[in-house]
């Protein structure tokens, strides 16, 4: 279905309109947006704040504060599990960050780093407007200029629709490459499909001043080096933050559900829910044979804890779902039209759209930032001391031919590395961890969360917190690779989970696959062309 056909469908089918750009937003100084037509249809909430117009999806939240000197707008959800008392209400977060902003830049970013959530924060002062995202970019943000007007949005296709944009020819060639779909649909560097717009990179803010955009890093800085706390203290502090998060989440949403597998991340989340188990429901789903193993493992763990656990069996027959062809096109458009979702994922979205069992799903994504993902994926390769553009390209995608496309992608990563990194950044956090955090997580996982998974219900990710990630990354790399850090957090919070004997390993990351990927990485990163 083409974009024009999708628009025509939505013009006819009012009930499908809320599925486009779910929980999205558009912020602009363009006064001529047609808010009654596609894609808004008069349903998005229009708010004027500090001279800019915000359009917000009906299921999304906007909070604003004017303290008399500066303005703050928060879109999405956020909470503070780090402070001694914690804070669950966004209105209070804005009051506190306003006070911190008045105190100093360090106080402001220090308080922002405590926040968990899926959000974007706008700060308005005499220097213009600054944009900050959540810890790992799970709520994607794109910004730029078009025809002299400022635009910022959660979905690139929203920008394309409003501004009438055409794809960058390089992006067109990239997404048509035969092996592009490997390792997920994502674009290199900070690119969007359109030359005028860039993706906000985690741990950076974008500033608009005097008609131009710039970006600056605010974490990690010299004051945010990895912690020197003893290992046991790291475990205690990380466990406390996760536990506080689970105590806050059930207060923010009426019906909270934790999606479970037998994997390390979700077991750690489950252990840290100890003390409030009765406030949550627990579920898994089966849409393929591989997911049956995960669901059975999750069920066994819940039986051990005497917790009710539901398994959703998702039919593999497309005819069992209403409007599936339309949903396929909508999900592709929500994700920027840079690749289709696989059939299983589309059916999952269709399945949960037809149910109303919970308001928010607790996901354990972002945890992989602390689990040394690249070392696991490539089975402890000998990483170079310096991340080069070609090495970044080789980590990004498999390119077996079309060397022109490889060289173009090298140039994208060369510009990305120069724009966002100085050597001191990788002295504070090893490049394989920081690059995974700031590029891989936000360019792929964030896109999946924003473009697909929020279509049926809200998503909350307890690990999406800078203070927590800094603590976890401070653990010795050997303990992170072996998942000892997560196991020790489990053991502290609930030994029954840690010692349950149930464990599921990602079947996609087999030893043979790791060897092949390691061989490809070694060869590709050294080719001179």
d(CA 383, CA 387): 9
Confidence of residue 119 (pLDDT cuts 50, 70, 90): very high
Domain 3-223: homologous superfamily in CATH = Aminohydrolase, N-terminal nucleophile (Ntn) domain (3.60.20.10)
What pLDDT is attached to residue 447?
97
- How many Cα atoms within 13 Å fall on the side-chain side of residue 49? 26
Q: Closest Cα to residue 131, out of 190, 203, 188, 195?
A: 203
Q: Where are the domains of the chain?
A: 3-223, 226-369+440-509
What pLDDT is attached to residue 518?
83
Confidence of residue 505 (pLDDT cuts 50, 70, 90): low
What pLDDT is attached to residue 154?
98
- Higher-pLDDT residue of 133, 223: 133
Confidence of residue 40 (pLDDT cuts 50, 70, 90): very high
- 105 pLDDT higher than 90: yes
The residues with which 78 forms a beta bridge, in sequence order, are: 117
Enclosing H/E stretch for 174: helix 169-175
d(CA 168, CA 153): 18
Structure tokens at 197: 């717009």
Confidence of residue 288 (pLDDT cuts 50, 70, 90): confident
What does the pLDDT average to over 183-194? 96
* Dmax (CA) of the chain: 62
What pLDDT is attached to residue 290?
80
144: left (phi over 0), alpha (psi -120 to 50) or beta: left
**Nearest 5°: phi and psi at 240?**
-65, -40
What would the pLDDT profile of 427-471 be if each residue is shown by its tens digit?
A: 899 999 999 999 999 999 999 999 999 999 999 999 999 999 999
Contact call for residues 53 and 46 (beta carbons, < 8 A): yes
Share of the chain above pLDDT 70, in %: 98
**Do you find a cis peptide bond into 362, omega within 30 degrees of 0?**
no
What pLDDT is attached to residue 401?
86
- 509 pLDDT higher than 60: no
Query: Which DSSP letter does residue 37 get?
Result: S
What pLDDT is attached to residue 510?
61
d(CA 460, CA 88): 13
What pLDDT is attached to residue 363?
97
Q: Is the dihedral of CA 509, 186, 189, 473 positive or negative?
A: negative
Tell me the residue length of the chain. Answer: 529
**Residue 32, Cβ density class (10 Å: 0-12 exposed, 13-18 middle, ≥19 buried):** exposed
Q: Closest Cα to residue 171, out of 405, 396, 441?
A: 405
What pLDDT is attached to residue 452?
95
d(CA 416, CA 303): 48
Confidence of residue 376 (pLDDT cuts 50, 70, 90): confident
Among 233-237, 341-345, 472-476, name the one with the lowest average pLDDT.
341-345
- 395 pLDDT higher than 60: yes
Query: SS3 letters for 121-162?
Result: EEEEECCEEEEEECCCCCCCCEEEEECCEEEEECCHHHHHHH
What would the pLDDT profile of 292-345 be if each residue is shown by its tens digit?
A: 999 999 999 999 999 999 999 999 999 999 899 999 999 999 999 999 888 889
Contact call for residues 79 and 115 (beta carbons, < 8 A): yes
What does the pLDDT average to over 202-211? 96
What pLDDT is attached to residue 514?
74
Q: Closest Cα to residue 195, out of 172, 162, 211, 212?
A: 172
Indicate the pTM of the whole model. 0.96
What does the pLDDT average to over 466-494? 96
d(CA 418, CA 220): 17
What pLDDT is attached to residue 224?
67
What pLDDT is attached to residue 37?
93
- 352 pLDDT higher than 70: yes
What would the pLDDT profile of 44-86 be if each residue is shown by its tens digit?
A: 999 999 999 999 999 999 999 999 999 999 999 999 999 988 9
Structure tokens at 309: 């656990």
Confidence of residue 256 (pLDDT cuts 50, 70, 90): very high
Contact call for residues 128 and 209 (beta carbons, < 8 A): yes
Is CATH 3.40.50.620 the classification given to domain 226-369+440-509?
yes
Share of the chain above pLDDT 90, in %: 84
- 507 pLDDT higher than 60: no
Average pLDDT of the chain, as a whole number: 94
- 511 pLDDT higher than 80: no
Which whole-number Å values give the CA distances from 342 to 22, 81, 178, 345, in the listed order?
19, 35, 16, 6
Q: Closest Cα to residue 467, out of 138, 248, 224?
A: 224
- Higher-pLDDT residue of 262, 123: 123
Q: Is the dihedral of CA 132, 219, 446, 201 positive or negative?
A: positive
Give me the helix-helix angle, 484-493 and 264-271, nearest 10°: 20
């Amino acid at each position: 279905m083409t974009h024009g056909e999708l628009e025509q469908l939505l013009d006819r089918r009012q009930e499908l309109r809320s599925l486009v750009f779910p929980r999205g937003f558009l912020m602009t100084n363009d006064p001529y947006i047609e808010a009654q037509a596609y894609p808004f249809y008069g349903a998005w909430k229009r708010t004027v704040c500090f001279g800019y117009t915000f359009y917000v999806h009906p299921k999304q939240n906007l909070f604003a504060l004017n303290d008399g000197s500066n303005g703050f707008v928060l879109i999405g959800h956020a909470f503070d599990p780090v402070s001694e008392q914690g804070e669950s209400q966004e209105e209070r977060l804005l009051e506190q960050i306003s006070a911190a902003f008045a105190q100093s830049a360090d106080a402001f970013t220090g308080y922002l780093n405590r926040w968990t959530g899926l959000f974007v924060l706008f700060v308005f002062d005499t220097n213009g407007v600054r944009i900050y995202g959540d810890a790992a970019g799970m709520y994607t943000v794109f910004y730029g200029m078009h025809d002299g007007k400022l635009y910022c949005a959660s979905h690139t296709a929203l920008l394309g629709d409003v501004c009438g944009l055409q794809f960058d020819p390089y992006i067109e060639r990239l997404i048509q490459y035969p092996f592009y779909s490997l390792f997920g649909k994502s674009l290199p560097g900070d690119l969007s499909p359109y030359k005028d717009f860039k993706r906000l990179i985690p741990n950076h803010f974008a500033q608009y001043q005097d008609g131009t955009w710039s970006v600056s890093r605010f974490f990690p800085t010299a004051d945010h080096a990895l912690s020197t706390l003893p290992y046991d203290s790291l475990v205690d502090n990380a466990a406390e933050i996760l536990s506080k998060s689970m105590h806050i989440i059930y207060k923010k949403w009426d019906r909270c559900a934790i999606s479970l597998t037998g994997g390390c991340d979700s077991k750690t989340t489950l252990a840290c829910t100890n003390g409030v188990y009765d406030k949550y429901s627990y579920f898994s789903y089966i849409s393929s044979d591989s997911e049956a193993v995960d669901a059975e493992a999750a069920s066994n763990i819940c039986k051990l804890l005497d917790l009710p656990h539901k398994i959703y069996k998702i039919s593999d027959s497309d005819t069992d779902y209403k409007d599936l062809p339309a949903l396929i096109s909508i999900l592709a458009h929500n994700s920027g039209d840079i690749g289709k979702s696989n059939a299983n994922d589309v059916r999952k979205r269709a399945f949960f759209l037809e149910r109303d069992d919970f308001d928010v799903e607790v996901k354990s994504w972002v945890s992989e930032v602390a689990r040394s993902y690249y070392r696991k994926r490539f089975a402890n390769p000998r990483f170079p001391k310096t991340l080069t553009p070609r090495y970044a390209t080789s980590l990004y995608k498999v390119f077996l031919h079309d060397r022109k496309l490889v060289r173009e992608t090298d140039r994208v990563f060369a510009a990305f590395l120069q724009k966002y990194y100085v050597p001191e950044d990788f002295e504070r956090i090893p490049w394989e961890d920081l690059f995974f955090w700031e590029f891989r997580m936000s360019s792929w996982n964030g896109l999946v969360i924003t473009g697909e998974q929020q279509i049926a219900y809200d998503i909350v990710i307890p690990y999406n917190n800078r203070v927590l990630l800094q603590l976890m990354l401070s653990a010795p790399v050997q303990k992170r690779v072996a998942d000892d850090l997560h196991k020790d957090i489990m053991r502290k919070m609930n030994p029954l989970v840690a010692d349950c004997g149930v464990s599921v390993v990602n079947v996609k990351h087999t030893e043979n696959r790791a060897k092949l990927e390691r061989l490809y990485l070694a060869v590709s990163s050294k080719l001179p062309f």
